[in-house]
Amino acid sequence: MTHTPARRPWYRPMVARRPDEPHRASTPLELFFDLCFVVAVAQAAAQLHHDVAEDHIGHAVPSYLMVFFAIWWAWMNFTWFASAYDTDDDLYRITTLVQVTGALVLAAGVPRAFADADFSVITYGYVLMRLAMVAQWLRVARTDVHPGRRACGRRYAIGIALVQVGWVLRLALPDDLLVPGFLVLVLAELAVPIWAERVAETTWHPEHIAERYGLFTIIVLGESILAAGIAVQSAVDEHKELAGLLWGAGAGIVIVFGMWWLYFDRPAGGLLTSMRVALFWGYGHYLIFASAAAVGAGLSVAVDHEIHEAHLGGVAVGYAVAVPVALYLSSVWLLHVRPHQHGLIVAAYPVAAVLALLAPLTPAPVPAVALLVAALVAVTVAAAHLENRPAVGSTP
């Protein structure tokens, strides 16, 4: 007798999933969600590359940080919600696809935001994503069996909706108030989860959250390799200057490979021991994601400099790579290393970050940064062997 799979329902009550659920893995919908968000990440990194190469650093950096906040915050909110309330019914899937549509609208507005400081399209896409999130929380407020979590859902829905009104009203502010208005609204967005979770904590799954963040880190690092690879390919096709380009490309690959190694040196799920720790860890990943994507933009700027198309001096080009690498190392140290490790490895990260900031003063800044990252990986491997713990990905 053949077994007929049960049909996925149109609607299920939003009942919280168990935080100790075994074998909790990312779903195909979550992976598709990440993939679509990469479009926005790629747009932000590409615009950062072009503005820095044109020596518009004062405009490029704040624009990039603002755009990346919108990308990261919408992704992060869906990730934590899905960890607690992924019902996978038809309505949940449709609402999530609305969020994906908002991400694509946001991505379409990135060039305009960088070129003309026009954040209207980005705001429309962002608000669309966030209002879909309001709909999800209203389902929780209506159907969760736990009274406290129903109240939590109401707080999330109210808080998110009010902040979205603020984002729309910000579009009418004069130019000199746009940045202060942005900062106020960012603080409001960050405060909503803290306020909502006070009444009752959602039942997020630590290993699932760690896996989701790890997957997005891989995607962002992959975007850095892709951006640098495309820049090298275009340069080779047009200029045929192979020696310097391949030397720089090899150094860039070492940097990104080392960044991957350092992030995944040990599992992160065990670090998320409480809501307070998880919020700090989750919020801190803004710096990890933004710096990882910015490394790709910096490597592309280095390629432009090699073929004499960047309007920057050699030191400034070096800092286009060194600054995001130093920020990445500092963020990984703050979130993964300092609170939970000891000995030489705890000091090695800050030392490597400081030395990375000095690398642009050398004749070959990108290879110097690559050498520092490789040395930090070597120290990490040595520390792992001294602790007698398994290497990354090995079976105990």
210 and 174 belong to one structural domain = no
14 in a domain, yes or no? no
DSSP tag of 4: P
Contact (CB, 8 A) for 130 and 168 = no
Q: What is the pLDDT of residue 1?
A: 47
What 170-175 contacts at long range (C-beta under 8 Å, 24+ apart), as own/partner pairs, is 170/123, 171/119, 171/120, 171/123, 175/117
Separation CA 391–CA 202 (nearest Å)? 33
* CATH number for 341: 1.20.1410
351 in a domain, yes or no? yes
395 in a domain, yes or no? no
Q: Can you give the residue range of the structural domain that contains 152? A: 28-197
Host H or E run for residue 370: helix 365-386
211 and 350 belong to one structural domain = yes
68 and 124 belong to one structural domain = yes
315 in a domain, yes or no? yes
Q: What is the pLDDT of residue 154?
A: 95
DSSP per-residue codes, 94-162:
HHHHHHHHHHHHHHHHHHHHHHH---HHHHHHHHHHHHHHHHHHHHHHHH-S-HHHHHHHHHHHHHHHH
Residue with tokens 């979205």, as numbered in its chain: 164
118 and 267 belong to one structural domain = no
Separation CA 359–CA 286 (nearest Å)? 25
Residue with tokens 């690879």, as numbered in its chain: 229
Separation CA 163–CA 131 (nearest Å)? 10
181 and 264 belong to one structural domain = no
210 and 68 belong to one structural domain = no
167 and 301 belong to one structural domain = no
Give me Rg for the CA atoms of the chain. 22
Separation CA 49–CA 61 (nearest Å)? 10
Q: How far is CA 242 from the centre of its chain?
A: 33
How many structural domains does the chain have? 2
4 in a domain, yes or no? no
Per run of 10 residues, the mean pLDDT along the chain (length 396 residues) is: 58 80 87 89 91 88 93 93 89 94 93 88 95 95 89 96 96 92 96 93 90 92 79 64 69 91 86 84 94 92 80 87 96 89 86 96 92 94 73 46
Residue with tokens 């198309």, as numbered in its chain: 309
Q: Which of 164, 197, 230 is the last residue of a domain?
A: 197
189 and 214 belong to one structural domain = no
DSSP tag of 89: -
Q: Which of 148, 173, 197 is the last residue of a domain?
A: 197
Q: Which of 197, 214, 229 is the last residue of a domain?
A: 197
Q: How many CB atoms lie within 10 A of CB 257?
A: 16
187 and 259 belong to one structural domain = no
Residue with tokens 């720790």, as numbered in its chain: 277
19 in a domain, yes or no? no
246 and 302 belong to one structural domain = yes
The pair of three-digit structure tokens given for residue 359, joined into one six-digit string: 């690398």
279 and 211 belong to one structural domain = yes
171 and 243 belong to one structural domain = no
74 in a domain, yes or no? yes
Amino acid at 82: A
Q: Which are the contacts of 28, defined by CB distance < 8 A and separation ≥ 6?
A: none
Q: What is the pLDDT of residue 67?
A: 93
Separation CA 114–CA 127 (nearest Å)? 19
18 in a domain, yes or no? no
